[in-house]
A = this chain, B = another copy of it.
Amino acid sequence: MTKKWVYLFSEVKQAENSVQGDWDKVRGLLGGKGANLADMTRIGVPVPPGFTITTEACNAYLAEGEKFPDGMWEQVMESLRATEAQTGKKFGDPHNPLLVSCRSGAKFSMPGMMDTVLNIGLNDETAKGMVALTGNERFVFDSYRRLIQMFGSVVLNIADEAFEDVLEAYKHEKGAKDDTDLSAEHLKELTEKFKKVVKKEKGFDFPQDPVEQMRLATEAVFKSWNGRRAIDYRRAANIADDLGTAVNIVTMVFGNMGSDSGTGVAFTRNPATGERLLYGDYLLNAQGEDVVAGIRNTKKIQDLGQDLPQAYKEFVDIVNKLEKHYTDMQDVEFTIERGKLWMLQTRNGKRTAKAAIKVAVDMANEGLITKKEAIKRVTPEQVDALLHPQFDSAAKQKAIKEGKLLCTGVNAGPGAAVGQVFFDADTAEHKGKVEKLDVIMVRPFTKPDDVHGMLASKGILTSEGGATSHAAVVARQFGVPCIVGASAAHIDLEKRSMEANSITIKEGEWISIDGTSGEAFVGKLPMTAPSIEEQTDLLVLLKWADEICATPGMRKLPAGWPSTGLQVWANADYPADARRARSFGAVGIGLCRTEHMFFETTRLPIVQRMILAKTSEERVKALDELLPYQRADFDGLFEAMDGYPVIIRLIDPPLHEFLPSEHQLLEEVITMRVKGQTDGLKAKEELLNSVESMHESNPMMGLRGVRLSIVMPEIVEMQVRAIFEAAADCTLRGINAKPEVMIPLTGHVNELKVIQPRLIAIAKEVMAEKKINFGYKFGTMIEIPRACLTAGEIASVAEFFSFGTNDLTQMTFGYSRDDAERSFLVKYIEEGILPRNPFQTIDRDGVGRSMDIAVKDGRSQRNNLEVGICGEHGGDPSSIEFCHIIGNNYVSCSPFRVPVARLAAAQAALKYSEN
């Protein structure tokens, strides 16, 4: 039996049966749009009859060198006959012609990324028939000329401008300002002109055969799956390349059949704020593309109540029904044809971070979904977006007073961004990715071709388009601050400049955009960290997330391993960071980098004296001076984290990092020598000698971490003394200090065996001096591949592990991070050689496998080994999920990522407890 490649919308049950009733697989088969059209048909929502050609057909078509699989076209024609029967119209019949649209629809929505052709079935003959049937010549030829233009551009790859130029010239000739000023006769003439464009561009005539039109359109949609912009989008959105797109053939309904017709798009709740209020735009007497393109000024959806009250009432009932049916905010498209409402699409609506959180919490409170479901509805990226820095409001007021407000527009993507202006996607991408500049991409409007530039930008500003325009949709999805429709901004792409509020901004100059308020400023505005206390919905959601994670039995791991979900700790070097982390919900400090304190201006000269010391006595003397500073830092940390563990990492970097650069010193010394300056030359030369003697070919793998501590134990001895003196002082003040001392860069258990007992002796000495006892741990960072491979031995000494995944990734891949990012890494990620940037997301196959070995071997030696992660991956959701899987106790990340991590930890717990 031939495979079923085509399903009528009314065949939803058959589609379900073919995949054992798995709705996710139905969506995979029919695409999101097709599945929902079929589903809507089933629940009695008015959907124009039609059918879906499956994603499997698309994949087969592409795999077989762009040939329809056997039987597919026959099934298409069969379904077309059925659709003719349902509508009572006939495809290509001049007397009662059926017109259809051909729309792409992948499993995951990729708005505007693939192709659509409307009005298929129109030709010279059927056009005449339509005129006879509708008596509306203007509408028919408006539709016909649209078909030729869309078909020409989408199917025949004729540049849009070829048609637009003709249209503009013709309008000018006829003195028409808008398209609506054109008469039926004008449109008829225009149709002929468009046919000539096709002939001129392609050398053949616009195909008059409706079946040929449909066939070519179907092929065009299939091919668009592998178009540049679709691939770019998928890469950015992490959509697999092998899903394919379905093709939906839908009976045309017309919003442009007069003033009792119209078309629109709407969200069931406000996609920017989450407020429970219909939100959308419509246009009377228009086709759908007019609304989305943002070219004509749309009306608010609520106004439809006045314009077409009956249709509006029906519309409101239907969207309420759809929201309940899909238990999520819906994004719908509709058309009213001579008063009759047709729903053309429904899908879960894209939304801002703020809206996502509010909708999830509201729906859980409304009883529409469970709390667990609410947690799953919000992405960690959305939580992150909400906590992005904002502009300081005082600074904003000042900028406005000083006349620095450039323009305002629609607040399409929340968040603040400061960057240099660039006017096209390629430049924006180059400046952002390669030159690492902060880029604000400025365009009149954006198209799918521009996505690569948008993704490389810190912010986006367009002078045209509305809240549902392309720029707005993409920006919201990827969390890029964005203003659209800033009509006061005059952008001159030729001159590479923009002008607004009498200010001219040239390419490369700085502006600041506030995507939350919709305001753009000239120059750089200062940003402030947002307060989590104001995010009441988020606080509720994170409370729920913490409850999930704290549930015992959440993980089924061996005895002694954690049975709850992950805890979230933070990396903090200073008391202020620790306080912020705690306010963001951290329940421990996973990494305090003690050497950061060495770089402060008051301390660096002492540190340098310590390093350059010729004798151990000199060194100890300098260290004695540093001790009170370190002790004070640690004291503040313990106080801020009262009751929670604080992991302090002993000095890690090579000592030459604290000295002036060799390059600079060399330049100075040579210059002095050549110029014959003797004054101070000797001291400089000596310093240069010292720095040169510390030179390493590969400092990343050199004398640092525990290696340094073994060669020069005085520094860590001072640090451990400072830690325990501070902890003792805190304990005496009634603070519950829980110090954990972390030894970095261990590669062999013997390193710990040499250094750890010496340090424990100091800890005990201090406690004896201060006459107080408190708990503490000594453990190690796991960041050397060998440490993972010999973790069992290492755990015989170390009481805790903390994965330093930055270095572990560097050494497991053999990538020097800075070098790699400058040279091959971007290329590797762009070309898919690496599926993800391993410095952002843990590489599970390689780095992750060795982490898994380390946890298993470590715990087989020490059953209750505390395991965490303190590399940058600790704040990355996929990596957090991986840490959950391998059995970490906690993840530790930067304070601002703590809320993100709390959500991600709960999502991981839910995902793996339910399976």
Residues of A within 8 A of B (CB): 663, 666-667, 670-671, 674-675, 696-703, 707, 710-711, 745, 747-748, 750-751, 754, 783-786, 789-790, 793, 807, 810-816, 818-820, 823-824, 827-828, 831-834, 843, 845-847, 849-850
Say whether B819 contacts A697, CB under 8 Å: yes
Of B667, B785, B819, the residue contacting A812 (CB under 8 A) is B785
Of B793, B807, B846, the residue contacting A845 (CB under 8 A) is B793
In the complex, chain B residues whose CB is within 8 Å of the CB of A667: 666, 670
Q: CB-nearest residue of chain B relative to A786?
A: B846
Of B697, B789, B812, B820, the residue contacting A846 (CB under 8 A) is B789
Q: CB-nearest residue of chain B relative to A692?
A: B663
Q: How far is the CB of A435 from chain B (nearest CB, A)?
A: 14
Say whether A754 contacts B833, CB under 8 Å: yes
In the complex, chain B residues whose CB is within 8 Å of the CB of A710: 824, 827-828, 833
In the complex, chain B residues whose CB is within 8 Å of the CB of A820: 701-703
Q: How far is the CA of A854 from the CA of B304 in the complex (A)?
A: 67
Q: How far is the CA of A820 from the CA of B698 in the complex (A)?
A: 10
In the complex, chain B residues whose CB is within 8 Å of the CB of A789: 812, 845-847, 849-850
In the complex, chain B residues whose CB is within 8 Å of the CB of A666: 663, 666-667, 670
Of B674, B701, B811, the residue contacting A675 (CB under 8 A) is B674
Say whether B814 contacts A784, CB under 8 Å: yes
Q: How far is the CA of A667 from the CA of B671 in the complex (A)?
A: 9
Q: How far is the CA of A698 from the CA of B819 in the complex (A)?
A: 7
In the complex, chain B residues whose CB is within 8 Å of the CB of A745: 814
Q: CB-nearest residue of chain B relative to A849?
A: B789
Q: How far is the CB of A861 from chain B (nearest CB, A)?
A: 13
Q: How far is the CA of A570 from the CA of B264 in the complex (A)?
A: 75
Q: How far is the CA of A816 from the CA of B820 in the complex (A)?
A: 17
14 A-B contacts (beta carbon < 8 Å) = A696-B819, A698-B699, A698-B819, A701-B701, A701-B810, A701-B816, A703-B820, A710-B827, A748-B833, A750-B832, A750-B834, A785-B814, A785-B846, A789-B845
In the complex, chain B residues whose CB is within 8 Å of the CB of A675: 674
Say whether B674 contacts A711, CB under 8 Å: no
In the complex, chain B residues whose CB is within 8 Å of the CB of A846: 747-748, 785-786, 789-790
In the complex, chain B residues whose CB is within 8 Å of the CB of A674: 670-671, 674-675
Q: CB-nearest residue of chain B relative to A848?
A: B789
In the complex, chain B residues whose CB is within 8 Å of the CB of A699: 697-698, 816, 819
Q: How far is the CB of A659 from chain B (nearest CB, A)?
A: 16
Q: How far is the CB of A749 from chain B (nearest CB, A)?
A: 9
In the complex, chain B residues whose CB is within 8 Å of the CB of A671: 670, 674
Instruction: Using known A-B contacts A670-B670, A698-B699, A850-B789, determine if residue A814 contacts B824 with beta carbons closer than 8 Å.
Output: no
Say whether B785 contacts A819, CB under 8 Å: no
Q: How far is the CA of A820 from the CA of B702 in the complex (A)?
A: 6
Q: How far is the CA of A747 from the CA of B825 in the complex (A)?
A: 13
Of B698, B786, B814, the residue contacting A747 (CB under 8 A) is B814
Say whether A703 contacts B824, CB under 8 Å: yes
Q: CB-nearest residue of chain B relative to A746?
A: B814
Of B698, B818, B845, the residue contacting A790 (CB under 8 A) is B845
Q: How far is the CA of A174 from the CA of B844 in the complex (A)?
A: 85
Q: How far is the CB of A19 from chain B (nearest CB, A)?
A: 30
Say whether B785 contacts A811, CB under 8 Å: yes
Q: CB-nearest residue of chain B relative to A833?
A: B750
